[in-house]
Structure 1
């Protein structure tokens, strides 16, 4: 049976991060030009402490418009990190992690080191591909057994019945 794929196969290598003290205005522009819905935020020790998400940016824009002021560091507006995944985690476990949070992209951590990002949509694609493969394998097992085709018509059934012993027929049809 097909193995459940792991995060490493679907994660995107992470090169872009923000620091908690980075200017929020510049971070907004960077995120808007990014192909990711969230970018990890690091503290002074280089640890991932949060994510700056598209939702955080929209919330900040609205807040700045109402308050008629702007500014501050990314750390004031980011979402704290609640959940992360590891490169060797299977996609079903990663999917469960997405159910525990509102993020559409999670950091992939190898110990304390950020090694990538995993978009929720890529988890969906990976699980769908795996499920399709399992269904094909299941279908294949149902339609054939080694050395014997499952009869699909009366004529084929009669041909098989006339060319096999009762015990052989019992084994052939017991498998189906």
Structure 2
């Protein structure tokens, strides 16, 4: 089993078992079909208040991502080509950065840093979409690890007993 070891701002070290995509990905996703009308897909994004969604075919195979950027491409193309309603397939980003369930947290963070993307689809060996990780998911996991580490490295409170000296009591205090 691989392990996680990197330093956080402030010098604290994070150590422990590697945190993998499968441990932090969102499983319940709003997905779109490549044969869906573009306007229906845009309506889904707006109603659900999301900036993009994975596109999968009928058997769950990952096709790509339809995002706000895809919507802008559709709008511009429609203005110039006077397109009637069309299917999503033509406007899906079919080459987004993807990760496997075994991708570690540091690699995920590096991918977000190097790619202009808000989400990383998690794809299994058969090309099926099994989950997704957002930048916020990664940040949340780092904070959970940081808080856990801080709790574990904080010494237990030391309780002192009251002592009587020269008729004056010293009040117990917690250090």
TM-score normalised to structure 1 length: 0.64
Rounded to whole Å, the distance in 2 between the matches of 1:79 and 1:89 is 22
Structure 1, unaligned stretches of length 5 or more? 150-176
Match of 2:25 in 1: 11
Distance 1:35 1:8, change over 3 A: farther
Q: Deviations over 1:12-36 (max 9, x none)?
A: 1144322322211111111212244
Rounded to whole Å, the distance in 1 between the matches of 2:73 and 2:132 is 22
* Worse overlay, 24-33 or 8-17: 8-17
Aligned residues: 142
Rounded to whole Å, the distance in 1 between the matches of 2:84 and 2:134 is 29
Task: Show the 5 A alignment for 1:102-121.
Answer: 102-112=116-126, 113-121=128-136
Task: Show the 5 A alignment for 1:82-161.
Answer: 82-112=96-126, 113-135=128-150, 137=152, 140=154
> Cα distance, 1:137 vs. partner?
4.6
> Cα distance, 1:63 vs. partner?
4.0
**Bigger Cα Rg:** 1
SS of 2:17's equivalent in the other structure is: coil
Match of 1:73 in 2: 87
More relative contact order, 1 or 2 (CA 8 Å, 6+ apart):
1
Higher helix fraction (1 or 2): 1
Distance 1:44 1:105, change over 3 A: same
Alignment match of 1:23 (pick from 37, 40, 44): 37
Rounded to whole Å, the distance in 2 between the matches of 1:8 and 1:36 is 22
> Cα distance, 1:69 vs. partner?
3.9
> Cα distance, 1:109 vs. partner?
1.7
